[in-house]
Chain A
């Protein structure tokens, strides 16, 4: 008779984490998302019309993490879809192209707009195309690096330079999000040397902790 008894699986929670990707056109938002979710990099440019989204599930022992990534088209006409990408997001990744300083400048406006819809989300400042950037004039590199560090400081956002095509710091971005959201100790060493793919996160993006921690409790269980 004991064989009839179906055993109950241990309850497992799924933590759904919505992430918004925001930044100027052609900085590599969709590429980053596709790279992270599907581990594929495509050189070809496809304009995002409106909002793209992909999800990635990370299965851990006692819980699952479901990243629900919303990627907003960078053209100005899609600004009215900003709420879609930012509202309810646990983290918003602001992306700029390391080889185009004007895209970094636009971050100011993107940040202002996005925080208008969502003050609680953890912001991250991500510079893309590091593989191209690293070949540029060292003076330019230094200028951009310092500029972005100032931005990161002002936004209180972790700063990451990444390369989607060369898989530099892509995974780190999402690990930093989790570490910041749940106030976890992350041991990966920071990279602060100008010219290197910067990774500065330890003392940034933590002020919203209390707010984000409370919102994380609304995780859905399946």
Chain B
């Protein structure tokens, strides 16, 4: 394989031109039928102009595609054929790297090593370096937020404990539109693709480990990448599409073979409303742990039933705002995904499609610790079932806008100490919820032990909680003062 590698270098100049694309396909030379004949062809071509070099001492892998000082590599007679036949230039651009033919091969090699530190020629070390470069790049994803936005200025005031200046700031910030989604990816690794052959090969395999796109054109480019360059791709462990509304289902289907493998763990189509992840991906990728499809209009029960049998390792399922999903789809997931830990079914529309049936199925069949059921028609019974089966493990609950919930849901369960590990509770606009005392007591107990708990109650519930907390604070002070007074007046007590 090594002998064939230098021949690929011919394509480097071209690959550099498109180096900013997400995946650099290295286009092979013009005429080829299959890989074998192509290699032969290239071998012939590479030998023809400079016959005194045999293939093995052609450009070493670590030679820069662009010489740092081209002047020192000016050709004598080697220049002439290039100028005469410009078509060859593309293929033999690496010839530039060679000092004129008079100098012997030995000195050639010496010269090259003088401007390349050996660590940049050792594949293992280069791979390490490039992995560090890759570690800087960020997969586009939703920014985790600390708190939800306030609902109104008066709510901001409640959150900021009456500090008007802070509240005003918070409120104006929240009314501004979010531009934060423009997560631009640092293309550092893509530049590494055009350094030299060694770097290209290593960088390409690292780049393709995690495929993420914020531009549909690049997905198309990947879909049309020639099969030859595909052999150099790694099997990706993550496949993320971020807000690609223009991408068509056909484009996505074309990418499926590149994406699917046993290594694939994370599939995300973040707000890509009109495309569905191709079912074959799931059939071939049995280790998917994270499936994130928020805001998808096409995901429905039928689709979930189709893919669920292949998702036996699934841990995270995000189906926010997938309005078409109903209890049936969730049931098929819960029966097939026993390892599920995070399940988000929150929605604004079609809330009646998700009922306590889903919740009970999740509670009984999975290892769920985070449940998002915002806007769903779940009932107290569902929450109780969840508490009975998963209570000690539940960490986060999002129950915003669940209009069927009453005081007998979370407040009663918290009073009975059923959710000892709850750390985030979202109960905005749960209109029948009026008894916040157990929630406040829970938060205070946790806080006293240094464990923060976040309760998002929205304006009404936040205000209620503040009042209750104030009252509890007063009662507590009164109790403490009574104890002190008793001690002060007791002759016996030391």
Give A contacts to B, CB under 8 Å.
Answer: 1, 4-13, 15, 39, 58, 60-63, 65, 171, 175, 178-179, 182, 184-188, 221-222
Contacts and interface: CB of A to CB of B under 8 A. Distances in A.
B389 interface: yes
Contacts of B417: 5, 7-8
B488 A186 contact: yes
Contacts of B132: none
B425 to A, nearest CB: 15
A9 B450 CA distance: 13
Given A1-B389, A1-B391, A8-B445, A60 B487 contact: yes
4 closest Cβ pairs, A-B complex: A11-B448, A60-B483, A63-B480, A8-B445
Nearest to A217: B477
B481 A5 contact: no
Interface in B295-345: none
Nearest to B487: A60
Contacts of B476: 13, 62
A195 B388 CA distance: 71
Interface in B457-494: 476, 479-481, 483-489, 491, 494
A117 B445 CA distance: 37
B420 A5 contact: yes
Interface residues of B, number: 27
Contacts of A171: 494
B488 A179 contact: yes
B444 interface: yes
Contacts of A184: 481, 484-485, 488
Nearest to A221: B448
A9 B420 contact: no
Which one of A11, A65, A179 has the highest number of Cβ atoms from chain B below 10 Å of its Cβ? A11
A6 B451 CA distance: 15
B445 A62 contact: no
B481 A4 contact: no
Given A1-B389, A11-B448, A171-B494, A178 B489 contact: no
Nearest to B445: A8
Contacts of B364: none
Contacts of B488: 175, 178-179, 184, 186
A63 B484 CA distance: 9
Interface in B392-443: 392, 417-418, 420, 442
Interface of B: 388-389, 391-392, 417-418, 420, 442, 444-449, 476, 479-481, 483-489, 491, 494
Nearest to A171: B494
16 contacts: A6-B420, A8-B417, A8-B420, A8-B445, A8-B449, A15-B480, A39-B494, A58-B487, A60-B486, A60-B487, A61-B483, A175-B489, A178-B488, A179-B488, A184-B481, A184-B485
Contacts of B391: 1, 5
Contacts of A10: 445
B327 to A, nearest CB: 25
Contacts of B485: 179, 184-186
Given A60-B483, A182-B484, A12 B448 contact: yes
A11 B444 contact: yes
B483 A178 contact: no
B445 A178 contact: no
A191 B448 CA distance: 42
Contacts of B491: 188
A201 to B, nearest CB: 11
A171 B392 CA distance: 47
A4 B392 contact: yes
A221 B487 CA distance: 20
A178 B420 CA distance: 36
Looking at A9, A175, A178, A186, the one whose CB has the most chain B CB atoms below 10 A away is A175
B490 to A, nearest CB: 9
B389 A175 contact: no
B446 A8 contact: yes
Contact of A62 (B449, B479, B494): B479
Given A175-B488, A186-B489, A61 B445 contact: no
A83 to B, nearest CB: 28
B388 A1 contact: yes
Nearest to B421: A6
Contacts of B481: 182, 184
Contact of A60 (B392, B442, B484): B484
Contacts of A188: 489, 491
Nearest to B442: A8
Residue in A4, A60, A222 whose Cβ sees the most chain B Cβ within 10 Å = A60
A197 to B, nearest CB: 15
A178 B487 contact: yes
Nearest to B478: A62
Nearest to A36: B494
A5 B387 CA distance: 11
Contacts of B449: 8, 11
B463 to A, nearest CB: 22
A170 to B, nearest CB: 10
Contact of B479 (A5, A61, A186, A221): A61
Nearest to A39: B494
Contacts of B447: 11
A182 B485 CA distance: 9
Nearest to A180: B488
B388 A9 contact: no
A178 B484 contact: yes
Interface centre among B391, B487, B494 (most CB of A within 10 A): B487
Of the listed residues B420, B442, B480, B485, the one surrounded by the most CB atoms of chain A closer than 10 A to its CB is B480
Contacts of B446: 8
Contacts of A187: 489
